[in-house]
Structure 1
Amino acid sequence: MIKILKNLTVYKWLIAAVVLLVFIQSMADLYLPRLMADIIDNGVVTGNTAYIWEIGGIMLLVSAAGVIASIAASFYSARTAMGLGRDLRRRVFNHVGKFTLQEFDKVGTASLITRTTNDITQVQQVVIMMLRMVISAPIMLVGGLILAISQDAKLSLVILAAMPVLAGSIILIFKKGMPLFKEVQNRLDRLNLVLRENLTGIRVIRAFNRETEEQVRMTKANRDLTDVSIKVNKIMAFIMPVMMLVMNLTVVGIIWFGGIRIDAGALQIGELMAFIQYVMLIMFALVMASVMFVMVPRAAVSANRINEVLEMEPSFVDNGIKKADRERGTLEFDNVTFSYPGAEKPALSNISFSAKPGEVTAIIGGTGSGKTTLINLIPRFYEIESGVIRVNGVDIREASQDEVRSKIGFVPQKAILFTGTIVDNIRFGKQDATQAEIEHAAHVAQAAEFIERMPEGYESEIEQGGSNLSGGQKQRLSIARALIRKPDLYIFDDSFSALDYKTDARLRAALKSETKDATVLLVAQRVSTVVDADRIIVLEKGRIAGIGTHEDLLETNEVYREIVLSQLTEEEIA
C-alpha cells in the first residue's frame, strides 16, 4: 500500500490544501460545543436575548466556515484520488504493454483487467477516505479528549472506560475479516474469467447447446464470490452496532454521572451538553477510524495486486541497441530450441533453416507440431532457450523489439480486428498510408470486392471483434493490414484457412508479385497452399522432419507423404 501511496507525491500541493481545509473544518466542529455551552449558561439560563443573538451569529459564521472547508476538502481529495487512479491505470497499461506473452500467460488476461479496473477503484476510494478521515479523525479524537477533560476531568473517566472496549472490538473484527479480502479479489478474478469466456465464446456455446452448462459455471463463480462477500460483510457488520452500543451507553453514563455533578454544583447544564457533544465527536472519530479499518485491508490487498503487476519484469527486455541491417529480407534459424515455462520438454528442438528474399518458405505439420510456436519466436513474442534467430542478418536479441517488428508483416492464425472503420483497421499496419495504398492493399488481399459492396465502402464500421464480417473477410483484412507495411518479411500463420479454394488461389497469385522482394513464411494446413513453395519445412513433435520442395519431399519424406495422402487422392498427387 505504501508503494502505491508514494505516487501521491505529484499531488503534494493538493494534499496540503486538503490538510489545511480539514484542519479548519475540525477546528470549527470542536469550537461549536464550547459556543453552545456559553450560549446556554450565559444566555438561555439568564434570559439574555442579546447575548443569545450575538453568540448565535458567531456559531453561524463558524458553521459556514466549516461547511465551506468541508466542501473544498471533498473536492480536492476527490481530484487527488481520481488523479492517482488515472496515473496508476496509465502505468499498469504501459507496463503490461512491455510484457512478453509469457507474462500474459502467467497472470491471465481476466486478472489483468480486474487489477486495472476494480483494484485501482478500491485504492481510489480508500485514498478519498484517508485524505478526509486519517487527518480529521486524530484531530477530532485528540481535540475532543482535551476539551472534554478541560470541561470536567472526573466525568472524562467514563470515556476512558469505554475506549478499550471499543478498540478491542474493532481489532477482533479486523483480524477476522482481513484474510477474507484477498479471497474476495481472487473470486472476482474467477468471475471475470468465466464472464469473459462466455461473452467471447458465445457462438461456440450456442452452437454446441452448452448454455445450461455455462449458466451453471457462471452461477457457481457468482455464488462463490457472493458467499465470501457475505461472510466478510457479516463480520464487518458488527462494527457499527458495537460502535453505536458503546457510544449510547457512554452517553447514558455521562448523563447519569453528569446529573449527579450538576446536583452537587460542580457542573453547569451548558457544560454537560458541550461535554456530550465532545463525546459524540470522539466517538465519531472512532467510527471514522473503524470505517478505515474496513476499507484499508481490502485496498491493501488491491494495492498488492497492482504492485505485483508493476513489479513483474518482462522475461526479456531490449538492450536499447539498434543494429543496422546486414542483409535485407533474410530470415535464419540457427539451431533454435524453445520451451514453454514449466514444460517437461521443449516445444521446438534444434530448428535450423534459412529463407531469402523472393522465396516462399512453407511450414506444414500435424496439430501440436510447433508451427505457430515457431513463427511466434520471430517477432520475439517469446525468448528462445538456445540458438540464434536472425532477421536481415541481425540476431533479434541484439536489436530492439521495435526494430525487429518493423521489418515484419504478421498475419495471425486468428484474425483480430478493432472497432473502427475498415480504413482504420488497414491503416493499423501503416499510420501514414494514403487512400491509394489502402485500396491497393485491399485489392491484393482480395478484400476490395466485398468492401466496395458495403454501404459505406472503406468507411464502413467494424463492430467489436469484427462480428459483422465473415471469417474469410476478417482474414483478408488482416492480410491487407500486413501488406500495407511493405515489410521485409511476411509471416502468414494459417491465414488462408477460411478462404475458399478459388479466393485462395487468386490471393496467392496476387501475393507473388507483391512480395517478390520480400521473404514469405507461410504456415498452412492445406497441401494445396504450400505445393508451389520454394521450400517446405515439415515439422513433427517440435523437430524438423524434412526440408525440400513438394516433389522432393513426396518422394523422400514419409511424414510429408502421409499429410499429402490424407488430403489428396493418388490421381491428384500424380
Structure 2
Amino acid sequence: RAYNQEDFEYKKFDITNKDLTNTYIKVNRILSFANPFVQILFNFCFIGIYGLGFYLINNISGNVNFITDKVTNTITNISVVAQYCMQIMQSFVMFAMLFIMLPQASASIKRAVEIINIDTNKDNEEILAFSPDYSNYQNELNSLYDEENKKLQPLIKKFESEYHKKFNYDLIKYQISIMTEKDYEHSSLKKYFNEYNKIHNKYHLKRKEVRAKYRNYVTQNLSSSQKENIINDKFKNHNLKGIIEYKNVSFSYPDTDVPCIKNISFKTNIGETTAIIGSTGSGKSTVVNLIPKFYKVTSGEILLDGVNINELPADIVRDKIGFVPQTALLFKGSIKSNLLFGNKEASDDEIINVLKIAQAYNFVSKLPDGINSFVSQSGKNFSGGQKQRLCIARSLIKKAEIYIFDDSFSALDFKTDAKLRTALKNYTKDSSVIVVAQRVSSILDADNIIVLNEGEIVDQGRHEDLIKRCKVYQDIVASQLDKDEIEKTLKLKERVLNEGGNKDA
C-alpha cells in the first residue's frame, strides 16, 4: 500500500491462486473418477471369484457326505481367496496413493534441503580467524569461489546472448516464482535457473565443509579462556565500554544494489540517549539492525568500544546488547521464564525491579500468580503495551552495556512513556541507549537526535537546536504536534517527573 503496488500484488496473487485452484480441481476430478473405478473393479473381482466358486460347487458330484465336505471346503477357499484378493487390491490402492503424495513430498523436501544447506558457520565467520591456519582457510574458500565462477561464466554468457540483458539470479528467481505451472514448463528460464542452482549448490556445500572443518578445529583446540584472551586483547587498548560509533556506514540489502542507508556517522556515549527519527522507510530500523550483526555493512565500519564489529564473533557483540525489536515477542511459559531469557541467573527481586522500571509491575502484581502468571504463545493474553513493557523488562535484566529500543514505546500512553524513560535514565547511567522512534514526544529529552531522510542523516543534535534549523525535523514535529502541544507535552513531562518516574504505571 505504501508503494501503491496493490493492483500488481492483487494480480500476482490472482495468478498464483488460479494456478493452485486449477491444480486442485484437476486432482479432485481424477480422484472422483478413480475412487468409483477402483470400487467397481473390486466388486467385479469379488463377483468373478464367487461366480467361479459357485460354478465349481455346481459341478461337484458323488455321494452326499463327499459332496457336503467338498462344498464346505470350496466355500471356505472362496472366502479365503476373496479376502486375500481384497488385501492385494488394497495394497495396489496404497501404492497408487504414493503417486499422489510424491509431488507434495518433493516440494517439501526441496524446502527442507534449502534449510539444511544453510551455512551457519558463515554467519559467525570471525571466530574462524582464531585458527592459526586462517590464511589457508581463506585460500581454500577463494579457490572454490574462483572454480564456481569459471563454471558459471559459460552459462551466464549464453543467457546474456539469448536474452540481451545482464544475468540477475534474484530477478530470475522472482520471475519464476510468479509463473503459473504451465508457463514454467514452457519457459527457457527454467533451464538456466536449474543449471545455475546445480553448480552453485555444489560449491556452496564444499565451502560449508571447509568452514565446518576450520570451526571444528577452533572449537576443539582452543579453550574458551584462550578465545576470551584474544577478544580482550582487542578491547584493552581502547579502554571503552558500551560505546557504538558509525563511520561512513552504507548498506544495501542482498537482493538490491540500491543503498538502503548511506554515509551514516554518529557516536553514542555512556549514560546518554541517542534517538533516531525519520519518516517510514527512511532506514531507522536498518541502522540499528547492523549493530547485532543481523547484516554486514556494505561499506564503512561500526566500532564497538573501538573495535570493528566485523572482527568480533556475533555472540560476543550480542552479549553486550539488550535489544527490543519492533515486534514485541513473548514465548509460551510464564512471565518469569520469559524474563530469564535475558539473564538465567536473575533472582525474583531483580525480576521485580526491572518490571518496576519498565512500568509493568503494577499489572503483573495484580495477576493471580504474579511473575509466575501464564503467558500464551506470542503473548496473546496481554495487550500491545503490556507486551512491550515485558519485552523492555527482559532486555533490562541483562544489564547490558548497550540498549537498543526499536520503536518499543509506540503502544504506551504518554504518561507511562515518560515514567519509563525517566526510570531508564537512572538504570542505564552506565550504558549507551539507542532509541528508534516514530513519536516525537518519546525523544524530546534525548541527548542526541539523529534525523534520517531517504537513508541519509540530514542533521543531528538536541530537540531545541533541531527545531530551529532542520526542515525535515520541523516537518515531522509539525505533523504530530503544534507549538502549544509541544509546550503542553514538556509541562506534562515535568509533572510526571515530579510525581516520580520510578513508580509503577
TM superposition score category, shorter chain reference: 0.5 to 0.7
Paired residue type of 2:87? F
Is residue 411 of structure 1 aligned with residue 217 of structure 2?
A: no
Post-superposition Cα deviations, 1:217-263, rounded to whole Å, max 9, x if no partner, equal: xxx99998985664353144145225415633653685599689989
Q: Distance in 2 between matches of 1:387 and 1:246?
A: 78
Q: Does 1:237 align with 2:35?
A: yes
What is the CA distance between 1:421 and its match in structure 2? Answer: 2.7
Structure 1 position 476 matched with structure 2 position 379: no
| Equivalent residues in 2 for 1:41-440, closer than 5 Å | 227=25, 230-231=28-29, 233-238=31-36, 240-241=38-39, 243-245=41-43, 247-248=45-46, 251=49, 255=53, 277=80, 281=84, 284-295=87-98, 297-299=100-102, 301-302=104-105, 304-312=107-115, 313-314=117-118, 316-319=122-125, 321=127, 324=231, 326=235, 327-340=240-253, 342-343=255-256, 345-440=258-353
Q: Report the alpha carbon displacement of residue 507 of structure 1 after superposing the two structures with TM.
A: 1.6
- Greater Rg by CA: 1
State the superposition RMSD in angstroms: 4.0
CA distance in 2, matches of 1:523, 1:497: 10
Q: Which has the higher helix share?
A: 1
Cα distance in 1 for partners of 2:316, 2:428 equals 20
Q: Distance in 2 between matches of 1:332 and 1:452?
A: 40
**Aligned to 2:389, what secondary structure does the other structure show?**
helix
In the aligned structure 2, how far is the partner of 1:434 from the partner of 1:290? 61
| Correspondence for 2:184 | none
For the structure 1 residues 540 and 291, does the alpha-carbon distance in structure 2 shift closer, same or farther, using more than 3 Å as the test? same
Pick closer, same or farther for the CA change 1:256–1:446 going to 2, 3 Å: closer
SS class of match (2:435): strand
Aligned equivalents of 1:563, 1:338: Cα separation in 2:
25
Deviation at 1:380, TM superposition (A): 3.0
Deviation of the 1:505 alpha carbon: 2.0
Percentage of matched positions with identical amino acids: 41
Helix, strand or coil at the partner of 2:302: strand
Distance change (3 Å), C-alpha of 1:232 and 1:432? farther
Post-superposition shift, 1:390?
Answer: 3.8
SS at match of 2:231: coil
1:407 corresponds to which letter in structure 2? K
Are the structure 2 counterparts of residues 431 and 568 from structure 1 closer, same or farther at C-alpha, using a change threshold of 3 Å?
A: same
SS of corresponding position for 2:337: helix
Is the alpha carbon distance of 1:224 and 1:482 closer, same or farther for their aligned partners in structure 2, counting shifts above 3 Å?
farther
Letter in 1 for 2:316: E
Query: Which letter maps to 2:373?
Result: S
Name the amino acid aligned to 2:278.
Answer: G
What is the rounded CA distance, in whole Å, between the counterparts of 1:261 and 1:383 in structure 2?
88
TM-score (structure 1 length as normaliser): 0.53
Q: Aligned match of 1:531 in 438, 441, 444?
A: 444
**Does the 8 Å CA contact 1:377/1:383 hold for their aligned counterparts?**
yes
**1:247, 1:280 within 8 Å by CA — same for their partners in 2?**
no
Which letter does structure 1 place at the counterpart of 2:42?
M
Aligned 8 A contact 1:319 1:398 in 2: no
1:305, distance to aligned residue in structure 2 (A): 0.7
Task: Identify if the C-alpha distance between structure 1 residues 235 and 349 changes in structure 2 by more than 3 Å, giving closer, same or farther.
Answer: farther
C-alpha separation in 2, matches of 1:365 and 1:400: 31
Secondary structure at the counterpart of residue 336 of structure 1: strand
Residue number in structure 2 paired with 1:179: none
Partners of 1:499 and 1:419 lie apart in 2 by: 23
Contact 2:329 2:378 in 1 (8 A): yes
d(CA) in 2 for partners of 1:428, 1:542: 33
TM-superposed CA distance for 1:493, in Å, is 1.2
User: Cα 1:235–1:306, aligned 2, differ >3 Å: closer, same or farther?
Assistant: farther
Q: Where in structure 2 are there 5+ consecutive unaligned residues? A: 1-12, 62-69, 128-226, 488-505
**Per-residue CA shift, 1:505-563, capped at 9, x if unaligned?**
22212111211221111011222322322222111112222223333333332211222
Q: Distance in 1 between matches of 2:23 and 2:313?
A: 43
Query: For residues 260 and 395 of structure 1, what CA distance do their matches in structure 2 show?
Result: 97
1:287 counterpart letter in structure 2 = Q
The question of whether the paired residues in 2 share the 8 Å contact of 1:442 and 1:477 is answered with yes
- Partner Cα distance (1:304, 1:420) in 2: 34
Measure the CA separation in 2 of the matches of 1:406 and 1:379.
9
Instruction: Give, in whole Å, the separation in 1 of the partners of 2:481 and 2:58.
Output: 106
- 1:395 to 1:555, Cα distance in 2 relative to 1, 3 A: same
Query: In the alignment, which residue of structure 2 is the partner of 1:57?
Result: none
> In the aligned structure 2, how far is the partner of 1:228 from the partner of 1:531?
62
One-letter amino acid of the counterpart of residue 565, structure 1:
A
Deviations 1:319-363 (A, max 9, x none): 271672524312233433333454573332333333233232110
- The alpha carbon displacement at 1:455 in A equals 3.5
Contact map agreement 1:358 1:520 (CA 8 A) in 2: yes
Tell me the residue number matched to 2:467: 554
Q: Distance in 2 between matches of 1:262 and 1:304?
A: 59
**Cα offsets for 1:196-225 (capped at 9, x unmatched):** xxxxxxxxxxxxxxxxxxxxxxxx999989
Moved more, 223-232 or 462-471: 223-232
Conserved 8 A contact 1:243-1:287 = no
Secondary structure of 1:237's aligned partner: helix
Which residue of structure 2 lines up, in the alignment, with residue 144 of structure 1? none
Q: State the match for 1:458 in structure 2.
A: 371
2: CA distance, partners of 1:537 / 1:420: 38
Alpha-carbon contact 1:357-1:517 (below 8 Å) kept = yes
- Secondary structure of the 2:393 match is helix
* 8 Å contact kept, 1:417–1:425: yes
1:236 and 1:294 in contact (8 A); partners too:
no
Q: 2:355 aligns with which of 428, 435, 442?
A: 442
CA distance in 2, matches of 1:320, 1:384: 14
Aligned pair partner of 1:491 in 398, 401, 404? 404
Q: Is the 8 A contact 2:53 2:74 kept in 1?
A: no
Cα distance change of structure 1 residues 359 and 527 upon mapping to structure 2, 3 Å threshold: same
TM-score by length of 2: 0.60
**Matched position secondary structure for 2:446:** coil
Question: How far did residue 435 of structure 1 move?
Answer: 0.7
Q: Quote the offset at 1:296 in angstroms.
A: 5.1
Distance 1:406-1:228 versus aligned 2 partners, 3 A rule: farther
Cα shift at 1:365: 0.4
In the alignment, the residues of structure 2 paired with residue 519 and residue 280 of structure 1 have an alpha-carbon distance, to the nearest angstrom, of: 78
Report the counterpart of residue 435 of structure 2 in structure 1.
522
The secondary structure found in structure 2 opposite 1:241 is: helix
SS of alignment partner, residue 546 of structure 1: strand
* C-alpha distance in 2 between matches for 1:407 and 1:487: 5
2 CA distance for matches of 1:228 and 1:374?
49
Shifted more, 492-501 versus 516-525: the winner is 492-501
